[in-house]
Amino acid sequence: MLVMIRKELRVLLADRASMITLFISPILFITVMSFALGNSFANLGSAGRLSISIADQDRGPAAQAVVNALTGSAQLKVTDETGGAPLTEAQAEARVKAGTDAFAVVLPAGFGQQVADGAAPSVRYVVDPASSRQVVDPVQSAISNLILTVASQSRTEQSLRALAAGTADPAAKAAINAQLAKLDQAARTVNASVSFPTGQSAIKYPSVYQQEVPGYAVMYVFFIVTVMAGSIMVERREGTFRRLLSSPMPRAQLLLGKVVPYALVALIQVTVLMSFGKFVFGMGLGSHPLALLPIAGALAACAVALGLLLASITRTEAQVAGLGTVTVLVLAALGGCMVPGVFLPHFMRVIAEYVPQGIALGAFQDVLVRGQGMGAVLPAAGVLLAVAAGLFALAVPRFRFVR
Amino acid sequence: MTIQELEELVAPEPLPQSQDTETTHVLRATGLAKKFGDRAVVDGVSLSVAPGEIVGFLGANGAGKSTTIAMLTGALRPDAGTITVDGVDLAADPKRAKALIGVVPQEIALYPSLSALQNLKFFAGAYKLPRKVQAERIAWALDVVGLTDRAKERVSSYSGGMQRRVNIAAALLHRPRVLFLDEPTVGVDAQSRNQIFETVLRLRDEHGVSVVYTSHYMPEVEKLCDRLVIVDGGRVLAEGTQKELLEPLGEGLLEWAPSGEELALLPAGIGGLAAALAGHGEVSVVDAEAAAPALRVRVRDMAHSLRDVTRIAAEHGIGLGGIRLGRPDLESLFLNLTGRRLRDGA
């Protein structure tokens, strides 16, 4: 059988078209698509901080309290001054117009007086028309509520301070001051925690390379299907199978000698593409890169089994090229190799879980993105091997060396 | 490699001792049958090949010839019948039996992107020849087909004739007892064809290889083959030496196909014509029900027959344009046996 494997690899290496399909084409796709989709992945999984600006025209303690509350927010990136000077309304508008900020909050002169008088405080928002209303509206609403809260707190503080100033009883004064301190503390701290529904954990999103490299690796490993089935057609047409059937080599060895080299090539493909991702784009391979091996092996088995099935049910090279290419592309699309799962609708994500390409891609990303090890990916590798076994069981009884 | 070493390599080897103790036949097939679906493609074919014998295996397309060859070479399992190669049962011990068979398919069954040397190395490996022996056998096979100096070139760069010769070399590496050559000269020039003939004769004369040779070119079959087997409809129609097979044809075939108008001039029609020529040999009417049937006479004395034919034609005012003469050759034998020409197709 070794002699068959050696011959097959020699023939394949001499076939430039196949080498381009299997190695050069995925590298080009990975490169182009990574550059094209880089920005889409940049903030995937992290909400990002919304940029806003504040023009404080009042400069009083109440307005300052609002500015302080907003600048203290972890979700907002607030700009309230430029070059050490407070931001003017015109400057804030210019930032919004330039797209630097999603919107600006203008606290007009007299804001503090309105708060002190117990009147509804005036505030003006300058909004970038291109900003997502889904993001801006809730933030505006929250800021409006914050302003009301700050105003209410400010009035309470003023009342308590007036009360403390008017009492001579040290015990009463101390009690009022303690209330003021609590009020101040309550305004500054919120005990917040985040939890997920039972059984679910935080999603760690891939970088663009951690999506594109394994995605196209999985997709192009399956192109071995058309290359292998095409090679079988050529052997039938050229009569080399007929000649080999007359040699003492058993049929099983002949068949294995035709299948194993392509499985090896698929493994080399995965290795080359992952190495390309790592060494050219600096893609992380996770904490347990060796765990990629069982997935790659099972994936290769799946691909050659599908190739054998294709060669078993087709009669011409044109049929192999047509049916093979359509099958490979459709399965790659269903498996999420072309479009990341996070961008797919729910039903497509469910389908991907049952497609070999989707199973393999998920397992690769478990290793690359989520740092999982051998134990975590073995179930996926087992499913892929079971699929491969099923495809072989369908293909072998139908396979004919000579038609 | 020195010339002396090369000469030692290409020197005739003594024939291996036959393992068939009961007969002298190196290949024997009995009652071979094969059906595809309900269609019987081969129906009870039996044949045998003696050591050093070149047997021509003839049949039109669809006659069952390729299927029979596929079964004889182990590429296809027969539904019935037995095949022994040098006394080894092909079904019971395929490994040993196949090691005694060499096959040169009609196609150029090589890998065109590899060199001749790489191709031969691969086929030597497929026949499990030890590494040391491989180099010797490859050098010998390349010498036999005259391609030693171009062995490292890609097969795709060769001419059709050179590719055919490598195709033969690949079947010789394991020194087979019997070599199957399926249309080995298709698409080659006269020079390459002659080289292939010389190779076949050299294998027979110097190495005692038996050959089963199929071809549509009757002249090369006549030139090369010691004995012929003619198949049609999945059965053996005739078998024997050329002399044995051609003897019943007498001096040849005379075919007379008068036109419809000419037939009308004959009072007794084609039947009368057949009766008039009955004394010259075996007479048969081809397409008797057709508007213009033909008469076929296997004549004993061509000159005498022609004299009578021209006399009858002159008497009835019939032209001689419908007359065809065939010398007693394999083409006319095949026509006589099957009613069609060898290259008529199915």
- For residue B201, give its domain range: 3-10+19-241
Question: Interior CA angle at B86 toward B197 and B119, to 5°?
Answer: 50
Residue B20 has pLDDT above 80, yes or no: no
Chain B contact set for A242 (CB, 8 A): 70, 75, 103, 105, 107, 109
Chain A contact set for B94 (CB, 8 A): 248
Domain match, A230 and A127 both = no
Answer for the pair A243, A49: CB distance below 8 angstroms, yes or no.
Answer: no
Instruction: Examine residue B346 and state whether it is found in any structural domain, yes or no.
Output: no
Interface test with A, best of B85, B111, B129, B156 (most A CBs within 10 A): B111
Domain match, B234 and B311 both = no
- Point out the residue among A7, A239, A247 whose CB comes nearest to the CB of B98: A247
Interface test with A, best of B103, B110, B173 (most A CBs within 10 A): B103
Domain match, B276 and B150 both = no
B11 versus B143: which is more confidently predicted? B143
Instruction: Examine residue B25 and state whether it is found in any structural domain, yes or no.
Output: yes
**What would the pLDDT profile of A298-319 be if each residue is shown by its tens digit?**
999 999 999 999 999 999 999 9
Instruction: Examine residue A198 and state whether it is found in any structural domain, yes or no.
Output: no
Domain match, A28 and A74 both = no
A284 versus B73: which is more confidently predicted? B73
Domain match, A228 and A85 both = no
Domain match, B157 and B288 both = no
CA distance A260 to A255: 9
Nearest partner of B134 among B148, B143, B147, B123, judged by Cα:
B123
Which band of pLDDT confidence, cut at 50, 70 and 90, is reported for residue A186? Answer: low
Task: Measure B125 CA to nearest chain A CA, in Å.
Answer: 6
Q: What is the 3-state secondary structure (H, E, C) of chain B?
A: CCHHHHHHHHCCCCCCCCCCCCCCCCEEEEEEEEEECCEEEEEEEEEEECCCCEEEEECCCCCCHHHHHHHHCCCCCCCEEEEEECCEECCCCHHHHHCCEEEECCCCCCCCCCEHHHHHHHHHHHCCCCHHHHHHHHHHHHHHCCCHHHCCCEHHHCCHHHHHHHHHHCCCCCCCCEEEEECCCCCCCHHHHHHHHHHHHHHHHHHCCEEEEECCCHHHHHHHCCEEEEEECCEEEEEECHHHHHHHHCCEEEEECCCHHHHHCCCCHHHHHHHHHHHHEEEEEECCCCCCCEEEEEECCHHHHHHHHHHHHHHHCCCCCCEEEECCCHHHHHHHHHCCCCCCCC
Residue A201 has pLDDT above 70, yes or no: no
Chain B contact set for A240 (CB, 8 A): 109-111
Instruction: Examine residue A68 and state whether it is found in any structural domain, yes or no.
Output: yes
Cross-chain residue pair A242–B94, CB shorter than 8 Å = no
Residue A190 has pLDDT above 70, yes or no: no
* B122 reaches A (C-beta below 8 A): yes
Domain match, A264 and A386 both = yes
Q: CA quadruple A12, A17, A23, A26: dihedral positive or negative?
A: negative
pLDDT of the residue at A112:
85
* B213 reaches A (C-beta below 8 A): no
- For residue A114, give its domain range: 51-188
CA distance A319 to B307: 62
Cross-chain residue pair A246–B94, CB shorter than 8 Å = no
pLDDT of the residue at A187:
57
Domain match, A118 and A254 both = no
Residue where a domain terminates, one of B175, B210, B241 = B241
Which band of pLDDT confidence, cut at 50, 70 and 90, is reported for residue A151? Answer: confident
Once rounded to an integer, what is the mean pLDDT over residues A367-395? Answer: 93
What CATH number does the domain containing B152 carry? 3.40.50.300
Instruction: Examine residue B336 and state whether it is found in any structural domain, yes or no.
Output: no
- Point out the residue among B73, B122, B171 whose CB comes nearest to the CB of A3: B122
Cross-chain residue pair B74–A246, CB shorter than 8 Å = yes
Task: Measure A242 CA to nearest chain B CA, in Å.
Answer: 6
State the count of interchain CB pairs (< 8 A) between A and B.
76
Among A180-194, A350-364, B55-69, B269-283, whose mean pLDDT is lowest? A180-194
Residue A198 has pLDDT above 90, yes or no: no
Write the ipTM: 0.76
Instruction: Examine residue B342 and state whether it is found in any structural domain, yes or no.
Output: no
Domain match, A87 and A35 both = no
B311 versus B155: which is more confidently predicted? B155
Domain match, B232 and B275 both = no
Domain match, B237 and B291 both = no
Domain match, A30 and A55 both = no
Instruction: Examine residue B201 and state whether it is found in any structural domain, yes or no.
Output: yes
pLDDT of the residue at B93:
93
Domain match, B289 and B175 both = no
Domain match, B232 and B312 both = no
Domain match, A60 and A20 both = no
pLDDT of the residue at A360:
95
pLDDT of the residue at B10:
38
Domain match, B172 and B263 both = no
Answer for the pair A87, A80: CB distance below 8 angstroms, yes or no.
Answer: yes
Chain B contact set for A401 (CB, 8 A): 75
Q: Is A78 helix (H, G, I), strand (E, B) or coil?
A: strand
pLDDT of the residue at A200:
53
Instruction: Examine residue B339 and state whether it is found in any structural domain, yes or no.
Output: no
Cross-chain residue pair B75–A14, CB shorter than 8 Å = no
Domain match, B98 and B215 both = yes
Cross-chain residue pair B103–A243, CB shorter than 8 Å = yes
**What would the pLDDT profile of A50-95 be if each residue is shown by its tens digit?**
788 999 999 888 888 888 888 877 778 889 988 888 999 999 999 9
Give me the phi and psi of A52, to 5 degrees please: -135, 165
- Nearest residue on chain A to B99, alpha-carbon basis: A248
Domain match, B167 and B211 both = yes
pLDDT of the residue at B210:
95
Once rounded to an integer, what is the mean pLDDT over residues B311-324? Answer: 84
Chain B contact set for A250 (CB, 8 A): 95
Which band of pLDDT confidence, cut at 50, 70 and 90, is reported for residue A194? Answer: low
pLDDT of the residue at B4:
46
What CATH number does the domain containing B264 carry? 3.30.70
pLDDT of the residue at B247:
81
B132 versus A192: which is more confidently predicted? B132
* B101 reaches A (C-beta below 8 A): yes
Q: Token digits for A44?
A: 């995937």
CA distance B156 to B151: 12
Q: How many domains does the structure of chain A reveal?
A: 2
Cross-chain residue pair A3–B125, CB shorter than 8 Å = yes
Residue B221 has pLDDT above 50, yes or no: yes
Cross-chain residue pair A11–B128, CB shorter than 8 Å = no
**What would the pLDDT profile of A204-231 be if each residue is shown by its tens digit?**
677 788 888 999 999 999 999 999 999 9
First to last CA, chain A: 23
> Alpha helices of A189-316 — where are they, by DSSP H?
208-221, 224-238, 240-245, 251-281, 292-313
Cross-chain residue pair A248–B118, CB shorter than 8 Å = no
Question: Interior CA angle at B252 toward B246 and B255, to 5°?
Answer: 130
In DSSP terms, B282 is beta-bridged to B298
Instruction: Examine residue B132 and state whether it is found in any structural domain, yes or no.
Output: yes
A269 versus A402: which is more confidently predicted? A269
Which band of pLDDT confidence, cut at 50, 70 and 90, is reported for residue B315? Answer: confident
CA distance B34 to B32: 7
The residue written with tokens 């290889």 in the block is B209
CA distance B231 to B212: 14
Cross-chain residue pair A10–B126, CB shorter than 8 Å = no
pLDDT of the residue at B253:
79
Task: Measure A281 CA to nearest chain B CA, in Å.
Answer: 35
Domain match, A162 and A262 both = no
Instruction: Examine residue A200 and state whether it is found in any structural domain, yes or no.
Output: no
Instruction: Examine residue A73 and state whether it is found in any structural domain, yes or no.
Output: yes
Chain A contact set for B70 (CB, 8 A): 242, 402
Give me the phi and psi of B53, to 5 degrees please: -100, 140
Residue B309 has pLDDT above 70, yes or no: yes
Instruction: Examine residue B61 and state whether it is found in any structural domain, yes or no.
Output: yes
pLDDT of the residue at A232:
96
Q: Token digits for B224?
A: 């090369």
Residue B252 has pLDDT above 60, yes or no: yes
pLDDT of the residue at B13:
44
Question: Interior CA angle at B271 toward B270 and B275, to 5°?
Answer: 115
Cross-chain residue pair A247–B171, CB shorter than 8 Å = no
Cross-chain residue pair A248–B99, CB shorter than 8 Å = yes
Q: How many domains does the structure of chain B reveal?
A: 2
CA distance A170 to B137: 117
Domain match, A66 and A27 both = no
Cross-chain residue pair A248–B108, CB shorter than 8 Å = no
**What would the pLDDT profile of A250-270 be if each residue is shown by its tens digit?**
999 999 999 999 999 999 999
Domain match, A32 and A59 both = no
pLDDT of the residue at B285:
80
Which band of pLDDT confidence, cut at 50, 70 and 90, is reported for residue A189? Answer: low
pLDDT of the residue at A182:
80
A197 versus B250: which is more confidently predicted? B250
Q: Token digits for B246?
A: 């051609």
Once rounded to an integer, what is the mean pLDDT over residues A152-170? Answer: 83
pLDDT of the residue at B346:
35
Q: In whole numbers, what is the pLDDT of chain B averaged over residues?
A: 84
Cross-chain residue pair A246–B98, CB shorter than 8 Å = yes
Domain match, B47 and B175 both = yes
Domain match, A236 and A349 both = yes
